[in-house]
Chain A
Amino acid sequence: MKRGLYLLVLGMVIMVMSSINLLLASESAAEILKKVDYNQAPKSVIYDVRMVIHQKGRVDTKQMKLYGVGEDKSYAIFGSPERDKGTAVLRLGNNLWMYLPSAEKTIKISGHMLRQSFMGSDFSYSDSTERLKLLERYDAKVTGKEQLNGREVYALELKAQQADANYFTRKMWIDSEWYVVAKQEMYAKSGKLLKVMTVLDIQQIGSRYFVAKTRMEDKLKQNTFTEMVMTNIKLDVEIPDSMFTLQNLERK
């Protein structure tokens, strides 16, 4: 009889502890994301990008310079290869324009195309041109602490607050020291795995830890992946508004 009572009390203690743990974890998720957002979504960014696209044995390298302000105001211009030289992209909110020097024409790309491949890479136009504040767009919960490549990471599950988010759910592994996404899996609303992103290099720039090299795999394609290497990274610098205009996009 006594033994049964002990077991009952023990069970109740475990349940209470679990609940407290979950409550704390929920608060932690918000805290973690706040710190991640601080690192990943500065006021402005300027960097050079080298995209190395691996497609079924073929390797293409493309270089561009990207200017970004806030979450989704970006301008990128390609310097190489020769075929893409001068191709420029302007992202303002959900609108995206592309200037094609071969046709000397600017083309507006509609909303759904933002999810399509960016210049043949495994990144989408959205992936490449936005710096989302995750805390404002996703509900998150911590699912545990794990080891990833010898470092301690938080495992998080994120669910979009808006149904039309590019990725409805995400699984993230966040470095517990630097608060940078070390790896993430992006899923469709149906639960289908769309992409896997792995961070390969992180740089400390001022007070922020910023992703300097990443690898993206589009799981809807076979035998492809893209590495994106960011160099000459400048954060929180002044970028004139004239940079993000159609006139600038079409400037030869």
Chain B
Amino acid sequence: MGDLLKIAFRNIFRNSRRSLLTIIISFLAVVVLMVSSSFLGGLFDGILGESIKSTGHIRITSADYDIKERMMSLTGNIPEYGLLKERLAQVDGVVSVAGRIKFPCLIFQDERSKEGLGYGIEPGDIQNLNFINYTYQGGLLNPSGQNEIVVGRELARSLQLKVGDELTLFARTLYNSPYGLNYRVVGLYDMQNGRLNKGFYISLASAQELLDMNDRVMEIVIFGKSSAETGHLINGLGKVPELKGLLMKSWNQIGLAPVFTGVVTVISTIMQLIFAFLAALGIANTMMMAVFERKGEIGLLKSMGMYEDEITMLFTIEGFMLGFIGTVAGLLCGGIIAYLLSRYGINLGGSLQGLPLTITNMIYGVFNTGIFLKSIILGLTAAVLAALIPALNGVRLKPTEALRKD
């Protein structure tokens, strides 16, 4: 085996240009694999993370909420929320329960006005929605602050709002009557999301007053310990009789995020296999040429008593070595890029905002052993398989034929 390794290693340098080209192909394929895995992983985490943030692990709504939501109607609401919340909080595995109201309204500030989408949220939701990280000016919504508002960056820009300003929200109530309340801006946030940045948040109690929705909410979001325990949560909540007639959906059943990530996973897997195939093709081409060049040598080795398996092994080791060098270099380079992507992220500048998904502008890549393992396995498997096929083809020749052909 030691001799085979030595010969295979020396063979690499017999046509160094061709070997270098093979290494580069392998290198590029692994770099692309690593970076795309890191980016797509980050994109998925971003989409699903944002999705869970906005839906909780479980979301409870009225049965016709999906239709009403599109029509921006407040009629698809859940009454007697206070009692229901108490009951839901007792279910095993429930970490937090939060009622929310999403509503359209007109926002007036001095002579300016703008249509906007507002959210009434509970104090616990301030943490769920990660306001601490997103607030760039002022503070958080005060749980008891009945007339306080935090405003998204885009909305603040268009109405030239700053912390301390007063504005008026003019909305249609549940009973379609116009009503208005004044609010003081206590904070500005940037959720790295164009849609959310055009909106604002007020306390749930204030939204209920504005919209004449006493003890009513549009949706209840429930957070468990982790998304892995969603099934357990569903089982527990399924036993709550008060939820009869309401619609309960888990985070992966809501919106287009799961469909989108599923489709992109299939597409990205196909793309990654194509890159692995191209790398394999490069290595196979090199090895095929090597086998053809060395037919006489193969015949000589066979006539001297070398087994076919050993000759196959020789070429396979050579191909593996080329693939290995390319893969290691690719892992290093791809690893650095993936690390930088995970550390500093990439700003897509709202290019994904047209999609019906909640997603931040900044995408941070994933940097974990998974993407290394995937790249190593794909890179090396492609190299070995690519070397094996021409090697098997070459050793089938009889020594006399091989010597004559040479």
Contact = CB atoms under 8 A, between A and B. Distances in A.
B177 A120 contact: yes
Given A102-B181, A105-B180, A107-B180, A60 B175 contact: yes
A105 B169 CA distance: 10
A105 B168 contact: yes
Interface string B161-179: 0000000101011011111
B234 interface: no
B108 A107 contact: yes
Interface in A33-87: 53, 55-56, 58, 60, 83-84, 87
Contact of B181 (A56, A98, A103): A103
Contacts of B11: none
B106 to A, nearest CB: 7
A58 B174 CA distance: 12
A100 B181 CA distance: 8
Contacts of A60: 175
B175 A120 contact: yes
Interface string A110-133: 000000010110000000000000
Interface residues of A, number: 18
B180 A119 contact: no
B185 to A, nearest CB: 15
A53 B177 CA distance: 11
A104 interface: yes
A55 B173 CA distance: 13
Contact of A102 (B113, B172, B176, B179): B179
A100 B170 contact: yes
B177 A119 contact: yes
B29 to A, nearest CB: 58
Contacts of B180: 100, 102-103, 105, 107
Nearest to B183: A103
A117 B168 CA distance: 21
B212 interface: yes
Contacts of B176: 55, 117, 120
Nearest to B209: A102
Given A83-B212, A120-B173, A120-B177, A104 B182 contact: yes
Interface in B171-206: 172-173, 175-182
A105 B170 CA distance: 10
A116 to B, nearest CB: 8
A196 B42 CA distance: 56
A100 B177 contact: no
Contacts of B170: 100, 103, 107
Most chain B beta-carbon contacts within 10 A, residue among A58, A87, A100, A103 = A103
B212 to A, nearest CB: 7
B168 A103 contact: yes
Nearest to B106: A107
Contacts of A84: 177
Nearest to A78: B177
Contact of A58 (B106, B168, B175, B178): B175
A215 to B, nearest CB: 18
Contact of A83 (B106, B113, B168, B179): B179
Contacts of A98: 178
A107 B177 contact: no
Nearest to B75: A56
A105 B175 contact: no
Contacts of B106: 107
B179 A105 contact: no
21 contacts: A55-B176, A56-B75, A60-B175, A87-B178, A100-B168, A100-B178, A100-B179, A102-B179, A102-B181, A103-B181, A104-B182, A105-B108, A105-B168, A107-B106, A107-B108, A107-B113, A107-B170, A107-B180, A117-B176, A120-B175, A120-B176
Question: Nearest 10 CB-CB pairs, A to B?
Answer: A103-B180, A120-B177, A120-B176, A100-B180, A120-B175, A103-B168, A103-B182, A105-B168, A117-B176, A119-B177
Given A87-B178, A103-B180, A107-B108, 18 more contacts: A58-B175, A60-B175, A83-B179, A98-B178, A100-B180, A102-B181, A103-B181, A103-B182, A105-B108, A105-B168, A107-B168, A107-B170, A117-B172, A119-B177, A119-B178, A120-B172, A120-B173, A120-B175
